[in-house]
Structure 1
């Protein structure tokens, strides 16, 4: 079974809001999903995102493939960077304390 992390459209006509969900790749866009990871609202300035980072990182480590849009959202929110750092822990190059320091530095630099 191929698992995707993708957007599920909700909201009114011409004013969509999206849920970021983990779903089987064969299920329809607004159909059944495995887990909800957060929400994305493109109508605010800047677009607002609410994520469960820990769950998103764990699904990426398990092998779930994000769509292009979700990958962009994850990149802007630091999910992909956190996954990258956790792979360094697996290899023995970093410790959990070093990961926290590096992620906090990144967060202060790139998040508003």
Structure 2
């Protein structure tokens, strides 16, 4: 079974809001899913995103493949960077504390860049 992390469309006509979900790749777009990871509203400026960071990272580590749009959302919110750091911890390149420190520095930098 191939698992994908993708968007599930909800909302009114011409005003979609999306749930970021983990689903079997054979399931329809708005059909059955395994777990909800967050929401994405593209109509706000900047787009409003709420994510469960740990759940998202754990699904990526398990091998779930994100779609291109979800990959972009994850990249902007630091999920892919967090996964990259945890891979380094697993390989023994640095400790968990160093990984958390690097991620906190990245978050601070992103907040200052967005202002």
Range class of TM-score, shorter chain:
over 0.9
Cα RMSD of the aligned pairs, angstroms, is 0.6
- Residue 78 (str. 1) matches residue 73 (str. 2): no
> TM-score w.r.t. structure 2 length?
0.96
Q: How does 1:35-46 map to 2 (within 5 A)?
A: 35-46=35-46
| Shift, 1:40, TM fit | 0.1
What runs of 5+ residues in structure 1 fail to find an aligned partner?
Answer: none
- Residue 18 (str. 1) matches residue 7 (str. 2): no
Runs of 4+ in 1 over 2 A off after TM superposition: none
What corresponds to 1:87 in structure 2?
87
| Shift, 1:62, TM fit | 0.2
Q: How does 1:1-112 map to 2 (within 5 A)?
A: 1-111=1-111, 112=114
Range with greater deviation from structure 2 (91-100 or 23-32): 91-100
| Shift, 1:110, TM fit | 1.2
Count of equivalent residues:
112
> TM-score w.r.t. structure 1 length?
0.99
| Shift, 1:94, TM fit | 1.2
* Secondary structure at the counterpart of residue 83 of structure 2: helix
What runs of 5+ residues in structure 2 fail to find an aligned partner?
Answer: none
